[in-house]
Structure formats: C-alpha cells, structure tokens
Structure 1
Amino acid sequence: METFNIPATPSLMKEFLRQMGGTAVIDGGLATELELHGADLNDPLWSAKCLLTSPHLIRSVHLDYLEAGADIIITASYQ
C-alpha cells in the first residue's frame, strides 16, 4: 500500500469534505485494535505509552484502517 505524507491544511480538509458530501466520521476504536495487536493497555496513559514503546503497533493499526477503506487516519492523541 502506498502512503503519502501530505500535511493537512484547512483548505485541503474543506475540499475533502466537499468531495465526500460534507461529512466525515472519525472514530476507530484505537484501544481495541491495539489490544488485539498485542499492546499493553494496563497504564493510565496507555496511548502515550504505546506511541513511545510500540510505534510499530500504532502504524500497523493505522495501516489496517487504510486497508479496510478508511479515507482519514489521525494521530493517537487520546491522552
């Protein structure tokens, strides 16, 4: 799968939303998917810990979302 490193700008997001009919839903159950991939979520700051200790799992989950058809992925910024 080819990935692009395109910075999101307000105008880019507005154009994307226009093309998608004006609505975008961003929700993916990151914790559930990370846990299924073997991440240790037994920490009050589990998402920050995963970013530091298991970035490969973060990448894997995001790639899974893209392969499943997601049009948008966002950073793991829950905590």
Structure 2
Amino acid sequence: MKSNVLFIASKQIQYVHYDESNLKLVVHYADGKQDAFSSISSSWFEQLMHSDNQYDDVMKLSEGLLNASLKKRHEHV
C-alpha cells in the first residue's frame, strides 16, 4: 500500500495524491476543490513523476476522462 504526493509547479494545481493500493489519483486545486480519478495505473503516475510538463499531463488526463464521462467532482474526498 503505497501513497504518493507530487507537487505540481502550477498556480491552479497545488499537488496530486496517488493511492497505489486503490489506483486512485486526487488532484488538489489552489481554490480548495478536488478531482478524484479511479483506475489510474501506477505506470501512468510513474510517467507523471518524470514528466517535463506535469501540469499538462494532469490536464490531459482530466479532459480525457471528462470526455468519457468518467470524471467525478468532489468538494471533499
């Protein structure tokens, strides 16, 4: 059960939290809102950690899941 926090160099996103045991990624925004994504592979999170543009990668993920109607908006997770 590994849990990871990755701080993103962005004014919009403070950090992302990845729970490897549940394959869940939670994006924590500067305004206090959160987006939770399930079924995120550990290999995707590993790629994110080494990405040159982490913000864009997180946005691509959220847009892709939104377009697939899999996105869930949470005020508190």
Q: What TM-score do the two structures reach when normalised by structure 2? A: 0.32
Work out which of the two has the higher radius of gyration on C-alpha atoms and give 1 or 2: 1
Q: Counting helix residues as a fraction of each chain, which structure ranks higher?
A: 1
Q: What TM-score do the two structures reach when normalised by structure 1? A: 0.31
